[in-house]
Amino acid sequence: MTQGPPESVTEPGYIFFASQLELMQLLLMVSKSPAQIGDGNLERATMLELVAVRLSENFEIYLSDLLIILHLKQPDLMSKERLSGKQILECKTYDNVLRALAEACVYDIIREGLETTQMAIKSKFKLKVFDEHSDIERVNRYNQERNLLVHNRGIVNKRFLSKVPDASSYKEGERLTVDAKTLKDRFLFFERVVTALDVRVAEQFNLPRQPFKKGK
């Protein structure tokens, strides 16, 4: 059902696709139950929500891991970042200091949200994250759904409606619905985006790649 990874992937790509495989196995197990949240199967509904949340988190972690590697390849981009004396002593080695600086830089970028993250990647590294602007809008919707599930028990609120322009089918106070079919489409979407980006970044920055082995 998933298109799967390319023949070879970067280290962040490998981690991403390994996690995708685990989530797909969970979704296939859940898909044997009735098709929609609200059918009275609370356990199944919770599992579907978990998959939706983890899919968005998996993509964010991929971007985060990728950004760390790119900052390590260009440490001059971290010149404005600062560590405390205690943090430096805890690092013990120069490589660990660079890693800590990269992680601090990436944390500052990621916490600003998807739009800021993809703009930072484009401006700092001349790297295009998405092929189409509609991809950004789609990831934004998935992220807002994730936030709603995590922070408001999936109950639609004014913030969600203001952040998601195409959420007109929902009214404030309704519960977000998550079904297996749309999650399968979501799997394919994230795999398409990451596959294209992983090939681009590996070629542009000469990152090492490895075959993806499902059983590893």
Q: How far apart are CA 34 and CA 37, in angstroms?
A: 8
The pLDDT tens digits for 72-107 are: 998 887 767 677 777 777 777 878 888 888 888 898
Give the global pTM: 0.88
CB 17 within 8 A of CB 5: yes
The pLDDT tens digits for 38-79 are: 445 777 888 899 999 999 999 999 999 999 999 999 888 776
Q: Does residue 172 have a pLDDT over 90?
A: yes
Contacts of residue 26, Cβ cutoff 8 Å, sequence gap at least 6: 47, 50, 51
Q: What is the mean pLDDT of residues 9-32?
A: 91
Q: How far apart are CA 60 and CA 114, in angstroms?
A: 9
% of the chain at pLDDT higher than 90: 54
Residue 4, CA distances (Å) to 39, 190, 202 in order? 31, 10, 17
